[in-house]
Amino acid sequence: MGKTLYEKVWEAHTVRELPDGRTQLFIDLHLIHEVTSPQAFAMLKERGLKVRFPDRTFATVDHIVPTEDQREPFGDPLAQTMLSALRENVREHGITFFDLGSGRQGIVHVVGPEQGLTQPGFTIACGDSHTSTHGAFGAIAFGIGTTQVRDVLATQTVAVNKLKVRRINVHGRLQPGVYAKDVILHIIRRLGVKGGLGYAYEYGGEVIERMDMESRMTIANMSIEGGARVGYMNPDETTFEYLKGRPFAPRGEDWARAVTTWRSLASDPDASYDDVVDIQGEEIPPTVTWGVHPGQSAPIDGAVPDPIEFPEPERAAIEDALRYMKLKPGQPIKGVKVDVAFIGSCTNARLSDLREVAKYLKGHKVAPGVRALVVPGSQQVAKAAEEEGIAEVFIEAGFEWRSAGCSMCLAMNPDRLEGDELAISSSNRNYKGRQGSPQGRTVLASPIMVAAAAVAGEIADAREVFGIGGQHA
Amino acid sequence: MPKIQRISGRGVPIPGHDIDTDRIIPARFLKTITFEGLGEGLFYDERFDAEGNPKPHPLNDPRFRGARIMVVGPGFGSGSSREHAPQAIKRAGFDAIIGVSFAEIFFGNATQIGLVCVRAESDQVARLMEAIERTPETLIEIDLAQMTVGYAGEGFPIQLPPAVREAFLRGKYDPLEVLLEAEAAIEAMDKARPKPGGQNVY
């Protein structure tokens, strides 16, 4: 019987079984940022411990950075304290830090792959639930809490339980105007936000195999929204092509050996899975959320559900969501007025995301009354987009072009919703209050759908707004 | 680390599905370099309006003051990996959560800091919620040796992964000391494993 990539990587990193039955797992790459690391460094200091392998630890700053005015000291002294604490910690422990002045700063899950730190077969941990993103490379990558950040800093290992593996096949092709974001929102809608509990998701099938790395990252990124702490794709030529020549990727003779190793890690054809789910790519519509968790979504030409058609306890959950979102049962999704359009976050702020939107946005204008912003995922993404003329397209259309950071995805910085503003957002979470206002409303969608809504002033079908796939309004 | 076998105290029901960690502790409370004082931010935006006036919420209800056990619905702790969420719950005076299911990262974070999260059948949890809603002074007892919850003459079985139960019973839920013991094996694995940016590593 063959093995899955998950099993192979797990075995290769097992230091030992712990007396309580958990596994002590070695972590190849530890990524840290300013929000979840300061307490871990403090705990380390308290115990008189050092960072065990500083050359396996890399830092960036992303959650709290202002994206408009980055002059220091920041307007928010708390944000400045967090950045200063990180600077002090990385200096003391000799950790590579992609600071604001480095030209390589950005959202941790954009920076890792971009720098070639993320490699197939790695175990990767970070105090951030969207660490699953790195699974796109055939890595086993997962979010951890701050006490575990301490464990990894001190020992390069963590105590964890092995997961089951669910294979999710996306067969066939996607229709024009349907993107990776729609695929993962569709998967979450189908399997539910708790569907992935206890599982690692392995994504495969023709649709996934044909996807570029950045699209794969979008899908792996939101595994956690489906309840799966880990999500991954098997490494293939697309993966190797992406990594070749990146600053921290293997080079010279190492490269060929690395590729041979990486190929051998892919799940065997006769591997057995704890569960298999099949989805037909042609059936996936452009998808947007209407509720207060990422599983509450509908096709763009669909309608908000009517709670009356559902049994308890689902009915109560839908009623609560509609009350919060100020939507009416059965109301069409299209036509809901938007106040803010946000393109950014570790889900959808990579160069290909921005490039794809710019291709269609040219010649269009953001509707009056809509605040639209683009926040590139990293300084490198920003630089490339500026050089390619992508930034200019956004600016001419009426978007604000910002500096790299997490921005309005979670509002730990000046970018946030006010009152009950409704944002259409390329980010990953539509929880109550997520975007900074306790009454703020979030609709998750692909970047192209965000742009379409920005132009229309209301939730709209990008295929109609931009004439994608021969469709016109 | 004390051994944890029995937790008893009064409860507070926090009904709802899929309560995410952004609701448990809004992101703005994460702008800190310590965990101190986080208890104040627990469920803040559900407990207080924009002016800081209390809203109706079980945690604002004087009948449940002094509760040490939270009783919650399915999917509790989903979303962000912020350990600030279980830290806030613990620092607000809670020792345990009885629920239907927990998001994995939240569960792991809670376990490492000795906040016990046990699962039970949803109808049992619903009955317990009703009981404390009716009689807030009901004493709840969680017994990890017997794997049961008892209250007001009633009881039901609970679930906990065997490794986690073992860790609580032995007082070894914070694994750092145990992880450090494997120094030689860790050293060897570091030498054997490729490093980002390293040479001759594959």
Q: Provide the phi-psi class of B171: left if phi over 0, else alpha when psi is between -120 and 50, else beta.
A: left
Residue B28 C-alpha, separation from nearest chain A C-alpha, in angstroms:
6
Instruction: Confirm or reject contact between A65 and chain B (CB < 8 A).
Output: no
- Chain A residue numbers touching B180 (CB-CB < 8 A): 154-155
Residue A473 C-alpha, separation from nearest chain B C-alpha, in angstroms:
37
B175, closest residue in chain A (CA to CA): A159
Sheet holding A14-17, edge to edge: A14-17, A23-26, A157-160
Please determine, for residue A473, whether its predicted confidence score (pLDDT) is greater than 50. no
Partner-chain residue, chosen from B45, B79, B81, that has the shortest CB–CB distance to A429: B79
| Separation CA A15–CA A51 (nearest Å) | 18
CA dihedral A130, A279, A189, A338 (to 10 degrees): 80
Asked if omega into A313 is within 30° of 0 (cis), the reply is yes
Q: Is residue B179 part of a domain?
A: no
What are the residues whose beta carbons fall under 8 Å from the beta carbon of A378, sequence distance 6 or more?
A104, A105, A106, A107, A110, A111, A114, A404
Q: Do residues A135 and A141 lie in contact, with contact meaning Cβ atoms separated by under 8 Å?
A: yes
pLDDT of A471? 58
Partner-chain residue, chosen from A35, A197, A261, that has the shortest CB–CB distance to B202: A261
Tens of pLDDT along B25-71?
999 999 999 999 999 999 999 999 999 999 999 999 999 999 999 99
> B126: which 2 tokens?
């619903």
Burial, A262: exposed, middle or buried (Cβ in 10 Å; 0-12, 13-18, 19+)? buried
| Separation CA B119–CA B103 (nearest Å) | 12
Contact at CB, A76 and B108, closer than 8 angstroms: no
A83, closest residue in chain B (CA to CA): B33
Instruction: Confirm or reject contact between A119 and chain B (CB < 8 A).
Output: yes
Question: Taking the mean position of all CA atoms in its chain, how far away is CA A193?
Answer: 16
| Separation CA A64–CA A149 (nearest Å) | 19
Residue B35 C-alpha, separation from nearest chain A C-alpha, in angstroms:
7
3-state class (DSSP) for residue B85: helix
Q: What is the CATH number of the domain that holds B79?
A: 3.20.19.10
Domains held by chain B: number = 1
Q: Is residue B54 part of a domain?
A: yes
Q: Is residue B38 part of a domain?
A: yes
**In whole numbers, what is the pLDDT of chain B averaged over residues?**
96
Give A164's strand partners. Answer: A199
How many Cβ atoms sit within 10 Å of the Cβ of residue B91? 18
What is the DSSP code (8-state) at residue B84?
A: H
Q: Provide the phi-psi class of A116: left if phi over 0, else alpha when psi is between -120 and 50, else beta.
A: left
pLDDT of B202? 84
Contact at CB, B193 and A161, closer than 8 angstroms: no
Q: Is residue B167 part of a domain?
A: yes
Residue ranges and CATH numbers for the domains of chain A are 1-285 (3.30.499.10), 290-470 (3.30.499.10)
Q: Which residues of A, range 132-191, sit inside 8 Å of B by Cβ?
A: 142-148, 150-151, 154-161
Q: Is residue B187 part of a domain?
A: no
pLDDT of A470? 67
Please determine, for residue A350, whether its predicted confidence score (pLDDT) is greater than 90. yes
HSE toward the beta carbon, residue A268, CA cutoff 13 A: 9
Q: Is residue B23 part of a domain?
A: yes
Tens of pLDDT along A174-220?
999 999 999 999 999 999 999 999 999 999 999 999 999 999 999 99
Q: Is residue B105 part of a domain?
A: yes
| Separation CA A233–CA A120 (nearest Å) | 10
Question: Taking the mean position of all CA atoms in its chain, how far away is CA B14?
Answer: 13
Instruction: Confirm or reject contact between A317 and chain B (CB < 8 A).
Output: yes
Give the structural domain span for B45: 6-173
B45, closest residue in chain A (CA to CA): A438
Please determine, for residue B6, whether its predicted confidence score (pLDDT) is greater than 70. yes
Please determine, for residue A432, whether its predicted confidence score (pLDDT) is greater than 70. yes
Residue B19 C-alpha, separation from nearest chain A C-alpha, in angstroms:
9
pLDDT of B199? 77
- Chain A residue numbers touching B176 (CB-CB < 8 A): 47, 150-151, 154-155
ipTM above 0.90, yes or no: yes
Q: Is residue B90 part of a domain?
A: yes
Most A CBs within 10 A among B3, B4, B23, B33, hence the mutation to make, goes to B33
